[in-house]
Structure formats: C-alpha cells, structure tokens
Amino acid sequence: RGKRAFIAGVADDNGYGWAIAKSLAAAGAEIIVGTWVPALNIFESSLRRGKFDESRVLPDGSLMEITKVYPMDAVYDGPEDVPEDVKTNKRYSGSSNWTVKELVETVKKDFGSIDILVHSLANGPEVSKPLLETSRNGYLAALSASSYSFISLLQHFLPIMNPGGASISLTYIASERIIPGYGGGMSSAKAALESDTRVLAFEAGRKNKIRVNTISAGPLRSRAAKAIGFIDMMIDYSLANAPLQKELSAEEVGNAAAFLASPLSSAITGAVVYVDNGLNAMGVGV
C-alpha cells in the first residue's frame, strides 16, 4: 500500500505545506491535512469550489486529492488546555476535536496509522518586534506555536506511526544567524526546533524507528511570510547573494521533503537540511 502522510499547517495553496503535500502526492502518498481552526472554513470552501484546482495539478496531469481535512490548533494539547474565550469563540465552537490529542485520536479512528508527519506551521504574535522589545507572553507564544507544537504532534502521533516512518518540520536560518526583522522570539523558536530535531531523532529513532529531520528553507512569499513584512527584501537578497541565482520555488522544498520522507533517505535523521539555493553557505554578501 502507498504511504499515508499527515501534513499540519495547510490553509491555502501558497505555503510550504501545500507544496510538500503535492510532492508527496506525486510520489504516491495518500494526503491528509490539518488546518488551523480559524482558517478551516475558507480553506475547505475554496477547495470545494475549485479555487485551488490549478495548483492541484500534479506532474502526471492528475489532481492532488486530499482525503480529509482536519481542524487543528497546535497550541492546545487537550480540551482541558483550551481557555473559555477560545472555546466559545464562534470560529472554534463550530468545529470539534481540534486539540492535538483529540486530532490524533480522530485520525487513528479514521485511518489507523500514518507513515509521514509534516509540521509546516509557525506563529509569533510579536514577530515584528525586536527580541529586545519582546514580552514574555509573546516569546512563550512563539515557542508554543512554533516549537512545542512539533513535540506535541510527534508525541501524540508516534504511537500510530509505522516503524520506518519519517517526520519533517520547516525551519529558518534566523535560528543561527542574525536576521533583523525576524523577531518576537521567532528566531529563538527556530533554534529550539532545530535542537529538538536532534534530541527527538534519538528518542523517536530508538523507540519507534522514526526519523526526524528539519528543512531550513529559503524565503517564500507565503501568507505567513507576507505577514512578517520583509519577505520581498529577503527574496531579493537571496537572488543577489546565493550561489544559485534563481527564485526558490515551494516545489523545490516539497521535493526535498518527499526525499526526506522516503526510503531514499533511510540513514538521514537529526539533520537540518538546507533548501535555500545555498545562501546559508555564504559568509558575506556580494
């Protein structure tokens, strides 16, 4: 049977999550996705109305099928963690079972198991503030949504992941080099995510033979990146300075993710894999 992939963090056809879904689908995987609760309605109705049909086209001409879309909010592990104002919020009360624990229980009921887990989500409410001006709450919220969310997903999915499976997250070089503008603790969140990739690779590898890697991706004009506000500058900077002078396509990251999810990478775990036209290797701008 083909492999089954759960991709967390798909809410439109512009981001890395969508591109990874497509590359995995092109390689024959069954695709199920987790969509942030507040974005669920618009994503599902756009999907239904055919708004994404053009971007659903796979290399063989067929359309990517998404078997099921699950509502999720990766900052809540179980129902007991959800504050009253979120519970009663109209956008949340219309959906159910969207905490990580309930999500995984539902996936287990529906499908039994998965082979591939992709974490393609991040959020930092104070991302536009320099780290020096970031509040404790803003910092912790960035870590909760962008780093712990991966630990929580892996922790809960691991028991239903088939041995030999793989998990992948998306990180950014601001974890290890100064990228002014990537604030609010988001640089810290990516540093945590990369360190956790190594520790979780050990733990999940020993316990369940699951590989854990992260892709350090170059700049892409996604919805999340546009919200940060400096994405065009980062794309221009990369074009001017990277060894490969071309705009990075989401598909290139998708294809790297498909490799990291496949047996072709069966000895790669605990790695930060750069998919950035080589920009990370530069020491100075040119």
Residues near ligand NAI (CB under 6 A) are 9-11, 14-17, 36, 39, 72-75, 120-123, 145, 170-172, 217, 219-220, 222-225
Residue 92 falls in the annotated catalytic set: no
Residue 182 falls in the annotated catalytic set: yes
Q: Least distance in Å: CB of 278 to ligand NAI?
A: 15
- Which residue, 162 or 247, has its beta carbon nearer to ligand NAI? 247
Q: Least distance in Å: CB of 45 to ligand NAI?
A: 15
Residues 55, 119: Cα–Cα separation, whole Å = 21
Which residue number is nearest to ligand NAI in terms of Cβ?
15
**Strands of 272-275's sheet, edge to edge?**
66-72, 30-36, 4-8, 114-119, 161-171, 211-217, 272-275
Q: Helices 250-261 and 16-26, interaxial angle, to 10°?
A: 50
Burial 101-129 (b: 16+ CB within 10 A, else e): bbbbebbeeeeeebbbbbbbbbbbbbbbb
Phi-psi map region of 113: left, alpha, beta (phi>0 left; psi -120 to 50 alpha): beta
- Which residue, 156 or 266, has its beta carbon nearer to ligand NAI? 156
Q: Which of 76, 92, 172, 237 is catalytic?
A: 172
- Which residue, 191 or 208, has its beta carbon nearer to ligand NAI? 191
- Which residue, 171 or 265, has its beta carbon nearer to ligand NAI? 171
Residues 78, 102: Cα–Cα separation, whole Å = 7
Q: Which of 92, 182, 237, 274 is catalytic?
A: 182
Q: Least distance in Å: CB of 21 to ligand NAI?
A: 11
Q: Least distance in Å: CB of 120 to ligand NAI?
A: 4
Residues 175, 197: Cα–Cα separation, whole Å = 13
**Which sequence positions are flagged as catalytic?**
172, 182
